[in-house]
Amino acid sequence: MKRRLFLLLPLIGTAWAQPEPRVISIAARKFEFTPGEIELRLGEPVVLELATDDVHMGFDAPGLGLHADLLPGKPVRLPFTPQKAGSFEFACDVFCGSGHEDMGGVIKVTA
Amino acid sequence: MQGIDRRQFLKIAGLGGVVFASGLARAAGTYAASQDEFFFVQLSDTHWGFKGAPNPDAEGTLPKAIAAVNALDPQPDFIVFTGDLTHTTDDPAERRRRMAQFRDLISGLRTRNIRLMPGEHDAALDRGEAFKEFFGATHYSFEHKGVHFIALDNVSDPTGAIGPEQLEWLTADLAKQPREARIVVLTHRPLFPLYPQWDWATKDGEQAIAALMPHSNVTVFYGHIHQEHHFKTAHIEHHAARSLIFPQPAPGSVPKRAPVAWDPQHPYRGLGFRSVEAEPGEYKLTEHPVLKA
């Protein structure tokens, strides 16, 4: 038993040593995301925390495989680690009103 | 999925447009040969109520297109509008006012057999409520001279999905058709993921395509992207129509989707409508400008 615990200790230590992922808050409102431009580093674990107080909206970044439905008062957390560099568009993909088609932004991932 | 090599099909027509001859029904053989010839007209994305620099003649473009359709000789068997009849507004009363004006305008079309379907601008903010009040069902099917037409609604759900209930209806509708039947699908958004970054897709479009796949002779006509576009998913061809308000850039060709600017030297450039001739074994598509040169 003691030997097993001894073997696990380095793993526990590694987990403790890992920094908390950076949390990036994104507010969705008619008809913009704030911030509309997000800069990330390749390989950096982050959590996108999305929220809206308006109406049913969406967050869709197909180039990064990220998608969320955003309902008023129900924040959504999207943890992910960028695996490729580049600029990736995101947009609201729930038709939310007269300015819906202008509602988008970009995630820039640098090496 | 694959693009279509237009060079295989394009030839210049006398009207200043182009004719796109599709070999869709080759496999249908004698079934297709038994069908009557006819043609219909597709208009799309009229966005009645839009105001802005991308079209300084927003109130004049649809009337000009109606005049151009009325000048066709012979007249089409029917006319279809593939969505975004009106430009969206957050005001339900204004939405209905625009729909009433649109209804009055198209009453001037000589061809009275008119088929309408919604775009997200018409239907996504009230799940098609106002559209149904003015124009009836948002999805339906009908027969015309041996062709089975299916109007699919992929816009009343604001997420841009067809939805399980309508997909079930589609499957049941298709089950009544022989596998070699000529089938035309009319819809607003592309059923395939043309460019999801710009919302040029249907969330569950792959399920509709899967339902259509067993049928050997299917063609899809749609709008939404404000430009002519031709694409194939396996044997199914998808043809997007021009808009009658402003053109959009080619998919992914610019960093941000925005209307193509109005060119005073070439007014109405990129706008227009389409006629589709259904002949035994093929469809011929002709693109018409709003104003003849």
Give the pLDDT of residue B2. Answer: 52
Is some CB atom of chain B closer than 8 A to the CB atom of A108? no
Statement: residue A5 has pLDDT above 70: no
Residue identified by tokens 């507010």 is: A27
Longest pairwise C-alpha distance within chain A = 65
Q: Label residue B171 by pLDDT band (50, 70, 90).
A: very high
pLDDT in tens, B86-142: 999 999 999 999 999 999 999 999 999 999 999 999 999 999 999 999 999 999 999
Give pLDDT, residue B24.
44
Cβ of B125 and A91 within 8 Å? no
pLDDT at B8: 37
A96 touches chain B (CB under 8 A): yes
Tell me which of A58-67, A68-77, B26-35, B150-159 is least confident.
B26-35
pLDDT digits (tens, 9 = 90+) for A36-51: 999 999 999 999 999 9
Q: How far apart are CA A53 and CA A47, in angstroms?
A: 20
From residue B83, how far is each of A50, B97, B159, B226 by CA, in Å? 32, 17, 16, 11
pLDDT in tens, A63-105: 999 999 999 999 999 999 999 999 999 999 999 999 999 999 9
Percent over 70 (pLDDT), chain B: 88
The answer to whether B238 touches B190, Cβ cutoff 8 Å, is yes
What pLDDT digit, counting tens, does each position of A6-38 carry?
A: 555 555 555 556 678 999 999 999 999 999 999
Amino acid, res. B172: A
Phi/psi-derived region of residue B45, left when phi > 0, alpha when psi is between -120 and 50, beta in every other case: left
In this structure, CATH architecture of domain A20-110 = Sandwich (2.60)
Asked if A18 reaches chain B (Cβ–Cβ under 8 Å), the answer is no
Which of B159, B196, B256 is closest, CB to CB, to A94? B159
**Mean pLDDT of the residues in chain B:** 90
Distance in Å, alpha carbon of B158 to nearest chain A alpha carbon: 5
Nearest chain B residue to A90, by CA: B197
ipTM entry = 0.83
Say yes or no to pLDDT of A62 above 70. Answer: yes
Under the banding of pLDDT at 50, 70 and 90, the label for residue B256 is confident
Question: Is A44:A111 a contact under the CB 8 Å cutoff?
Answer: no
All structural domains of chain B, each given as residue ranges with its CATH number in brackets, are: 2-289 (3.60.21.10)
Residue type (1 letter), B264: P
B66-76 pLDDT per residue, tens: 999 999 999 99
Residue-level pLDDT at B119: 98
Q: In chain A, where are the structural domains located?
A: 20-110
> So what's the pLDDT on residue B293?
67
Res. B212 pLDDT band, cuts 50 70 90: very high
Task: Say which range, A18-22, B170-174, B277-281, has the weakest mean pLDDT.
Answer: A18-22
Comparison of pLDDT for B98 and B293, the residue scoring more: B98
**Residue B46: Cβ-neighbour burial (10 angstroms; 0-12, 13-18, 19+):** buried
Q: What is the pTM of this model?
A: 0.88
Better pLDDT: B31 or A98: A98
| Residues of B with Cβ-Cβ distance to A71 under 8 angstroms | none
Which amino acid does the sequence have at B193?
A: P
**Residues of chain B positioned with their CB less than 8 A from the CB of A104:** 256
Q: For residue A97, give the chain B residue with the closest CA.
A: B90
Q: Which residue of A has its CA nearest to B199?
A: A93
- Binned at pLDDT 50, 70 and 90, residue B243 comes out as very high
In this predicted structure, the answer to whether residue B200 has a pLDDT above a threshold of 50 is: yes
Q: Determine the pLDDT at residue A8.
A: 53
